[in-house]
Structure 1
């Protein structure tokens, strides 16, 4: 930690009048660059099957080829499958599965939150007690139990995570609805005799959308990690389907000899989560700037 006094540090900074516009402009450009990277990642995931040089489940080369080998940029695994192809397919599964989980959780939580916040009374109390019940349970364990009950597959994993993810959105959106309901323009609409449904859909829901978008975008990285963790535990697609968490777990025994086989899918998970988190921060900053 620096031992310089605050006054010395303040002298090194440009005047606020010069600093703020420059920093805002630079920050906006950086955030747009991050969102461009997120868009590029989405395109790569979307066209993963086209970009993959080989079938990810077929042995197409020598065993345990190191990264940079001829015809295999990221090498091959212990069965001779191309790691680049498996990673691209795994990125597609992880990225769009995470988006689906966040979207479904946001829809369910949004409906519950808007209904509770706009209705009030016993409906609000009932829905919030139900939400609190889900929040009190350990989400990861509940998701594992749901997958174990339904059967091990990617679809059931998505269902399990979505079921435990919606309460967070319900709480946040309900609070935002309560806040918006006390705004002057909403009070004016009530005094003018506007119906409750019209007030909700015309004045409250549009005001909730920015908060919902920011919250959801910040959650995608966490869902990527949770999905990879459940896949690592064997709760995703069965072998030999490519999945980043499962590919990392299945090849851990090669870590000390052919390190790239488990490291490549593991790094892909970290990069996905990092890009998603940076994208969420970028969206938050850009939307805060517009307000």
Structure 2
């Protein structure tokens, strides 16, 4: 006697690939939620900080958890948690500003080069190549040294050398979209160049630009921390993650938490930024 097929059970079985994709989506959403929480913490850092990050308020070099200081105090008696929160705020929003400025400047140059072509494309790309050939970190250091050591000048120095990468990528995307059938059809139909650019090309370039920028935030976080470590950030006693690590390196073997905690904050910022970039790429890929 032939067995009847199991009709009722098959609909509840999900292929392994679908399960993996579903898990990947949930993980991406969780990472983006974590990034959102990080952004809120950075935004309200001054409200969340339990003490003044600049003024000494306790005994020197208190261990984490001692006398109401969850992360201890430094060699001057300042609360490390408060200084770390403000340092996260400075690093996070500074990185967002640099990436946004690079995306805007590089995007405008890339779109102009891709749309106009010819001598405009050649001139803009040679100008871009000139900046790509320069050692970006050294140029940023030279600009900061010339303008003066503070956060604003550090942001200017990095922003000056950060846009060429975006210009190259966006120019390539614009060239690719300009050759697609729907753009050719719009051109044949008599659509103006402005309409073609803003209706058919730029919307297609936006996802690539977003993914590129999101993956780049972690690099900016590390560069800002490195420049701050070298003393090219905010002058003391302003809290800054790289500078706080550098100033307290002599205590690494005795009061390890004083230099290590700001360094761990840099690690968390960079790691979450990179994971967030991957999450954005995953979610945008699923929408296509």
> Is 1:161 equivalent to 2:158 in the alignment?
yes
**What is the SS of the residue equivalent to 2:15?**
helix
Residue pairs, 1:28-67, within 5 angstroms: 28-67=25-64
Instruction: Tell me the equivalent position of 1:264.
Output: 261
> Is 1:185 equivalent to 2:182 in the alignment?
yes
Instruction: Give the deviation of 1:197 after TM superposition.
Output: 1.3
1:39-64 deviation digits (Å, cap 9, x = unpaired): 00000000000000000000000000
Which protein has the larger Cα radius of gyration, Structure 1 or Structure 2? 2
1:196-240 deviation digits (Å, cap 9, x = unpaired): 111111111111100000000000000000000000000000000
* Corresponding residue to 1:238 among 235, 238, 245: 235
Instruction: Tell me the equivalent position of 1:225.
Output: 222
TM-score (norm 2): 0.95
Moved over 4 A (4+): none
| CA distance in structure 1 between the aligned counterparts of 2:104 and 2:139, rounded to whole angstroms | 20
Instruction: Give the deviation of 1:244 after TM superposition.
Output: 0.2
Gaps of 5+ in 2: 1-13
| CA distance in structure 1 between the aligned counterparts of 2:254 and 2:67, rounded to whole angstroms | 20
Count of aligned residue pairs for this structure pair: 276
C-alpha RMSD of matched pairs (Å): 1.0
Instruction: Tell me the equivalent position of 1:19.
Output: 16
Residue pairs, 1:99-110, within 5 angstroms: 99-110=96-107
| CA distance in structure 1 between the aligned counterparts of 2:150 and 2:62, rounded to whole angstroms | 30
1:247-269 deviation digits (Å, cap 9, x = unpaired): 00011111111111000101100
| CA distance in structure 1 between the aligned counterparts of 2:25 and 2:253, rounded to whole angstroms | 43
Instruction: Tell me the equivalent position of 2:281.
Output: 284
Instruction: Give the deviation of 1:166 after TM superposition.
Output: 0.2
Instruction: Give the deviation of 1:70 after TM superposition.
Output: 2.4
| CA distance in structure 1 between the aligned counterparts of 2:16 and 2:103, rounded to whole angstroms | 37
| CA distance in structure 1 between the aligned counterparts of 2:17 and 2:152, rounded to whole angstroms | 47
Gaps of 5+ in 1: 1-16
1:167-209 deviation digits (Å, cap 9, x = unpaired): 0000000000000000111000110111111111111111110
Instruction: Tell me the equivalent position of 1:8.
Output: none
Instruction: Tell me the equivalent position of 2:9.
Output: none
